[in-house]
Amino acid sequence: MEATAGPVLYRQLLLWDQSLESEDEEEEISEPLVPDPWKPQDSSRSWKEVGARPGAWAQLAVALLLLATGFSLATWQLHTRGSTTETLGSVAPPPSGHSHRPGVYHHGAIISPAATCSHLGQELLVAGGNVVDAGVGAALCLAVVHPHATGLGAMFWGLFHNSSSGNSTALTSGPAQSLVPGQGLPLALPALRLLHTRFGHLPWSRLLEGPTTLAQEGFLVDTPLAQALAAHGTKGLCPLLCHSDGTPLGPGDQATNPKLAAVLYKAASAPTPDFAWNALLSLLAKDLGLEGHSAEPMPTLEPALKLPLAQGVLFTTPSPSAGPELLALLQAALQSREPSSDTCPPRLQATETPVSSALATVDSSGSVLLLISSLNSSFGSRHLSPSTGVLLSNLVAKSAISTWACPLILRGSPDDTEADVLGLVASGSPTVARVTTHALVSHLARPQTQAQHQHQHQHQAQQGPTESPSVCGQGIMLQVAAHAEHAHVSSVPSGCCPYQGF
């Protein structure tokens, strides 16, 4: 663990200050909300008819004054609405009057597999949270709405880069552990709580509000979950994800998980992290007919593995994740004179990668959090705990390397005051390390001469610093970056994962 044990400070993410806006901004409003005061409102009446009545000019002057006042108020309301829209994470032009392509924001952003969870993460950012708050909140949300890929029964790995200190820290789950053969020990709650306790800002209970509400009041089944149900069936998943006749829920159907809501509520109100986790284990032990569970190694925070390069420093997660193998692949690819951005590096020799879920958050100062989790198979062990609503993982081999976990962060040279920070995390592919290696080699293969570097900055201002034309295998690559005091989010393939920011 890192030597510093105190709280970590971040640069505060401030909303736009209207007092700092340009005076020319109001000129950009194209359509007023009131009619043109210089245009007659009744075409059947002429100026001559108006002037024929006593006091008409005085009335006209008053009318013009009222219209001018109304126009001024309407302009202010239009401006206020524009500021609010930007705060809610749309791609509308910010108060400064300039606009960005989708996925570029002034303060912070999040990208995840579910629109509901990306929106929840964005709300936490706007509420004053940092990238850890947003990422952990979104991960808990995914544990509710994407039970085919993640959940409280999943294993989690994380990689956090702190722009304030320049340090990168890995969240490590350690070797997979089992409650009973074929059903893994659920370490999601202690892992995410540990990460939040060390680096989060908002109260822990605030992060659990949204996921608890979704589990209790219901969430809509989205396309990824519906496709997993259609492909793998509902055995072991009813009544959580089934109609009354046993058929699987489809896109747009509503699902609830009140037992999971109760677990999340207890986790939010528990006096200590151990209290909530022990309560969950007690319920699971009752469901599985166990008398108890002995203490096992818990998730930890460790210094990230790093590899210095001419272009900066690479960070990833330590063993038993695939991070060390990823760095070995990258070293081989970067030392060779032959690698091309169009050629996929050699495949990592490992067993087939389990189903996994990934998300990423970034702020404009360069803090990045990458989280990836897995239940191993789709829906894990397919054992739905009746007391907790948790699906346990079937990733239980204590010596297995987590080939699905190799998030990567590239921090530019510390000598460059405008150095970028790039985060890459992949999921859903049997060659995750290969995918990540290919994406980074493609990024580093760009021309870096001074003239080309300036052109690249201009191009990136419009297209973003993390665009990649393709990805090896059939996986998904989430990409986040801090560039030119903006937060960037994107994915390969484009449009696969919803993002939000402000």
Q: Give the pLDDT of residue 137.
A: 98
Amino acid (1-letter code) at residue 41: Q
Residues 312-336, mean pLDDT to the nearest whole number: 91
The three-class DSSP label of residue 44 is coil
Picking from 493, 472, 443, the residue whose alpha carbon sits closest to that of residue 343 is 472
Return d(Cα 161, Cα 374) in angstroms, integer: 22
Residue at token pair 């920011």: 501
Higher per-residue pLDDT: 212 or 443? 212
Handedness of CA 399, 401, 405, 408 (dihedral sign): positive
pLDDT confidence bin for 433, thresholds 50/70/90: confident
Region 303-309: mean pLDDT is: 95
Tokens for 317, please give them: 């997660």
Q: Is the peptide bond before 320 cis (omega within 30 degrees of 0)?
A: yes
Closest by CA position to 88, among listed 20, 13, 15: 15
Would you say residue 446 has pLDDT above 60? Answer: yes
Q: Is the pLDDT of residue 346 over 80?
A: no
For residue 345, the model assigns a pLDDT of: 47
Give the sheet arrangement for strand 486-492, strand by strand: 104-105, 486-492, 476-483, 421-427, 408-412, 312-316, 305-309
Q: Where are the alpha helices (DSSP H) in 336-427?
A: none
Q: Which pLDDT does position 297 carry in this prediction?
A: 75
DSSP-assigned letter for residue 15: P
Q: Is 397 exposed, middle or buried (0-12, 13-18, 19+ CB in 10 A)?
A: middle
Please give the structure tokens belonging to residue 494: 């484009």
What pLDDT does 313 receive?
A: 94
pLDDT at 444: 80
CA distance 74 to 97: 18
Residue 89 DSSP label: T
pLDDT at 183 (0 to 100) = 92
- Tens digits of per-residue pLDDT, 156-171? 999 999 999 999 999 9
* For the ranges 31-40, 54-63, 400-409, the one whose mean pLDDT is highest: 400-409
The predicted model gives 424-428 an average pLDDT of 92
Distance separating alpha carbons of residues 223 and 252, to the nearest angstrom:
8
Would you state the pLDDT for residue 413? 76
Neighbours of 207 (CB within 10 A): 31
Sign, CA dihedral 280-209-491-368, equals negative
The average pLDDT across 95-122 equals 89
Q: Where are the domains of the chain?
A: 104-218+256-445+475-491
Q: What are phi and psi of 394, to 5 degrees?
A: -110, 20
User: Stretch 129-133: mean pLDDT, rounded?
Assistant: 98
**Mean pLDDT value of segment 237-252:** 94
89 versus 55: the higher-pLDDT residue is: 55
Cα–Cα distance measured from residue 405 to residue 344, given in angstroms and rounded to the nearest whole number: 19
More confident residue, 79 or 100: 100
